[in-house]
Amino acid sequence: MTLATVTLPDDVWRCIAALLSPQDLLPLASLNRAFLSVALDERYRVVRLENRDDWTLERLQWLRTPRIAGRVRQLDVGASFLESLAQDPDNTLGGAKTSRWQWLLPAFLCSRVLPTPKASHTLAGMTQAVDLMTNVEQCSFELSALSLTPETTRFLSAAHTSFGSRFRKISLSARLRDFPAMLAGIELVTDLEQLEITFEYDFTDDPSPSGASANTIRTTILPFIARFSHSLRALSISAISKVDISPIFEDLPPFAHLEKLAVQLTCGYLDAAALMTILDAHTASLSRVEVCASCQTTALSIWRALAQRQPLVDKLDSLILGYESHVFEIARGDADLESDSSSTLDALFRRPFTESDNLWEPQLETVLKTLSALPRTTARTKLRIGVFTLTPRVFSLLVRYLPDLHTLNVVVYSPSYRMDWIMGPQLEQVARDWHLEELAIWDYDSGRPSAALPPQMERLVGEVVKRLPSVRKSNARKPVEASSGWWC
């Protein structure tokens, strides 16, 4: 008996493919040509070139064929990938081998295995391949000072020429003194929607506002950013080095469409007035603002300045403020911290607290008092904070300064696990009118995604929750999702 071939519309095959994991897609591609096409569409829809390994080599080989290159919708090129090719051009990415999936694919798609190229030939092949990626909708590049060579520049130029306005994002990371040479290599880029700049650590940087570092920022960095004033929608500035980035914000021209501004200062300096200059100029367009500083003085001065700008804060969909590992968010509407995978503070939400990050009660009161001055009308607020000890005084300060707090995540450096203050009436009286809905309490050792909550801490959280009737979700009631930044 001959079995009839089942004919289904492409949309049905796509729905089936969407239910399968990437590991299952290619083995099932031999069922029929329709499913093969759908499976390959799903497999090559997003291509990220980041690691120098055999899997990357295999993808590069197939991307040089029109039948595969035309399926790419998003191309992301990582700095480490380009850097490895630029620094070792005569080496190969991996040993010559047959594709692990080749035996599953029809002969018309893989009649031969492409030879393993050298790194320099790989770049040349990728430069040609971008011309075949006719359906790319979005392209991004991460660049470092070491990743820019004549070969990688040609690759970048080819991508920019092929994709045009779809070339949307560039991430630049280098020491400040290396930026002039690096920016000279990407003069061809004219339109960007997202720009990320990171100043890496350099002991030669001059933090003074009139020194050589400030002059480089004014003469090189500032004009480069200003080139995209007509197209830029998201700007992120990070300073790992001890450099004053205030000139960037003092002299930038107005941006026509700026929606997101992110600033992260690990060692850098920023005058609050300079930051307010760009915020005031873009009150109408901004919807997300993220500011994180390791220095308490810098962080609190920026928070105090924001407290004086109620029209701006009231309009933002999301305002994220960070100090060390402490994070405070004001969100409105459907804005959600975890929904923005490109957030520059994502790593901050997931990293464990160090001993120096934790606050004693006087420090906690200073931080909470400053945050309480921020406008929060009709907003949902979240706080992640670390303290040395958990006491009724900690809860009293939280209730006093943040009575409308929605989500609280506390990491306790030295928990005593004493229950007497919880069992008594003190906690219940303090938090009687508190509207907290989500609560997570961790000890210092378990306050990380891979660690389990100790039984004594789970019992402590459970007793606290019993006395907070408004709490609907806690890390004592059900397993906590490790992927959520607020619950790690």
Q: Summarize pLDDT for 255-303 with one digit per residue, the tens.
A: 999 999 999 998 888 999 999 999 999 999 999 999 999 999 999 999 9
Most confident of 97-101, 104-108, 274-278: 274-278
- In angstroms, the CA 130 to CA 70 distance is 10
Q: How far apart are CA 481 and CA 255, in angstroms?
A: 39
* CB 20 within 8 Å of CB 28: yes
Residue 401 pLDDT class (50, 70, 90 cuts): very high
- Residue 280: Cβ-neighbour burial (10 angstroms; 0-12, 13-18, 19+): exposed
User: What does the block give as tokens for 40?
Assistant: 């390959």
Compute the average pLDDT of residues 126-132: 82
Report, as an integer, the average pLDDT of 54-74.
Answer: 81
Taking a C-beta distance cutoff of 8 angstroms, is the pair 427, 396 a contact?
no
Domain that holds residue 35: 7-43
Q: In degrees rounded to 5, what are phi and psi of residue 326? A: -85, 135
Three-state DSSP string of 339-385? HCCCCCCHHHHHCCCCHHHCECHHHHHHHHHHHHCCCCCCCEEEEEE
Strand pairing class (46-49; 288-293): unpaired
Of 341 and 340, which is predicted with more confidence?
Answer: 340
- 15 in any annotated domain: yes
- pLDDT digit string, tens, across residues 75-96: 888 888 887 777 665 555 444 4
pLDDT-derived band of residue 26, with 50, 70 and 90 as boundaries?
low
Domain-embedded: residue 28:
yes
In DSSP terms, which residues pair with 265 in a beta bridge? 239, 293
346 in any annotated domain: no
Residue from 253, 254, 256 nearest 231 by CA: 256
pLDDT for the residue 463: 85
For residue 56, is pLDDT > 50? yes
Highest mean pLDDT, choosing among 111-115, 152-156, 345-349, 391-395: 391-395
What confidence tens digit (pLDDT) does each residue in 142-195 have? 888 777 778 788 888 888 888 877 888 999 999 999 999 888 878 878 788 999
Angstrom distance (rounded) from CA 349 to CA 340: 13
What pLDDT, on the 0 to 100 scale, is given for residue 446? 57
Looking at beta carbons, which pairs linking 22-26 to residues 24 or more positions away fall under 8 Å?
Answer: 26/101, 26/104, 26/105
* Beta-bridge partner residues of 293: 265, 323
For residue 11, is it within any domain? yes
In this structure, the strands spanning 326-331 and 380-387 are antiparallel
Please state, in angstroms and as integers, the Cα–Cα distance from residue 100 to each residue in 27, 40, 93, 97, following that order: 10, 15, 16, 8
Task: Name the range with the highest mean pLDDT among 207-211, 454-458, 469-473.
Answer: 469-473
The CA–CA distances, whole Å, from 177 to 174, 203, 263, 352 equal: 8, 11, 20, 32
Task: Give a yes or no: residue 29 inside a domain.
Answer: yes
With a CB cutoff of 8 Å and minimum separation 6, the contacts of 259 are 233, 234, 285, 286, 287, 288
Number of domains in the chain: 1
Residues 226 and 251: their CA atoms lie apart, in Å, by 9
Flag whether 94 is in a domain.
no
- Look at the alpha carbons of 232, 238, 241, 244 in this order and tell me if their dihedral is positive or negative: positive
9 vs 139: which has the higher pLDDT: 139
Distance of CA 40 to the CA centre of its chain: 28
Structural domain includes residue 344? no
350-360: b (≥16 Cβ within 10 Å) or e? bebbeeebbbe
Beta bridge partners of 245: none
User: What is the chain's mean pLDDT, rounded?
Assistant: 80
Mean pLDDT value across residues 41-63: 78
435 belongs to a structural domain: no
CB 262 within 8 A of CB 195: no
Q: What is residue 98's predicted lDDT score, i.e. its pLDDT? A: 43
pLDDT score at 344:
42
pLDDT: which is higher, 424 or 469: 469
